Every structure is written in structure tokens, then in C-alpha cells.
Amino acid sequence: MPTRGYGFVKKTGDTMTGTLTSTAMPKCRVYNSAAQTISNNTWTAMSFDTEDHDVGDMHNPTTNPSRITVPYDGYYFVYAKVGFAVGTANTARGIRIYVNGSNKNTFMGHTANNTDTYSCTISMLLNLSANDYVEEYVYQKSGGDLKTGSSPTSTSLGAFMVV
């Protein structure tokens, strides 16, 4: 078993072989240092400029900053969260996990009023192949542009993690 509780096992064909130690276990958590503007009624890939940690060179904040690319075949836990600034009441907000440009999971919600921020969270376990990439897409339909939250300490926390 790995020394950390992630349980990553390397996959070879249809056979699971061995485990990776915690120092070699690929894991990545990214976020933004500033808010990102999301256009109205458009699914938009989040672009991340800051890495909390990146074991396995899974993310490049300059080249394809929306992507986390896995180095090995195997099962990965993917977690995404986005917070939106205060917007119009009773309007849609959403989040998706994409793999290699295809939607794998969607969460949609609606704001209750126009005085609160609104956050969306989604997670799933994915069986991925080496060099597959995962992205977080977000959506809002407030009638105009709307900003996301930024750093992990902001009120509208946003983060993307693959372990």
C-alpha cells in the first residue's frame, strides 16, 4: 500500500501491478492567483497559473494552463471547485470535468439570490491512460460576464486537483 491514502496503482494492460511510493505518486493541485472572467452562457476552460503541488510534472502554467496531464495509466481521483462572484438571482452556474476534450461529468446549480457568492464542486474516479489530460470547465448564465474566485484563501475558493 502507498504510504499516503491515495491508493494509486499502476495499470499494465488489464493487470494492476505494484504501487508507487508517496514521493513518486503523481498528484497535482492548481489554482488561480487572480479571478478569471467567465462569459455569459458559455462553457469555459479554467486556466490555472499557480501550483500548490505538482509531483510528476502534470501541469504547466504557461503551456496549456487549463490541463493536468497524467504520467501513467491508472485510476485517478479528480476534484474541481469553482466559486463565482455575486451575480443575478436564480441564474445557472455549472462545472464539468473533461478528459481529452470530452465531457465526463457535469454539475449544475442555481443561485438563490443576488447577494451571495455561489460555488460548484464536482469529483469522480477516472481510469486514465498515460498522457490523457483532464480539464475543469465552468458555466454561468447571469446575463453578463461574471468573475470566479481566485486563491485558495479567497471567499470564492477555486481549485483543481488530480491524485
**Can you state the percent helix, strand and coil of the chain, rounding each to 5?**
0, 50, 50
Residue 154 to residue 120: CA distance in whole angstroms: 15
User: What was the pLDDT predicted at 161?
Assistant: 84
User: What was the pLDDT predicted at 4?
Assistant: 33
Three-class DSSP category at 36: coil
User: What was the pLDDT predicted at 108?
Assistant: 85
Residue with cell 505538482: 54
| 41: CB partners within 8 A, 6+ apart | 139, 140, 141
Residue 11 to residue 15: CA distance in whole angstroms: 6
User: What was the pLDDT predicted at 23?
Assistant: 55
The residues that bridge with 159 in the sheet, in sequence order, are: 81
User: What was the pLDDT predicted at 2?
Assistant: 33
pLDDT one digit per residue (tens) for the chain, 163 residues: 233 334 445 555 555 555 545 556 899 999 888 889 999 999 999 999 988 889 999 999 999 999 999 999 999 999 999 888 877 767 888 999 999 999 999 888 877 666 566 788 899 999 999 999 999 999 999 889 988 875 554 444 567 888 8
Q: What are the chain's domains?
A: 10-162 (2.60.120.40)
User: What was the pLDDT predicted at 109?
Assistant: 82
User: What was the pLDDT predicted at 10?
Assistant: 54
Residue 119 to residue 121: CA distance in whole angstroms: 7
User: What was the pLDDT predicted at 1?
Assistant: 29
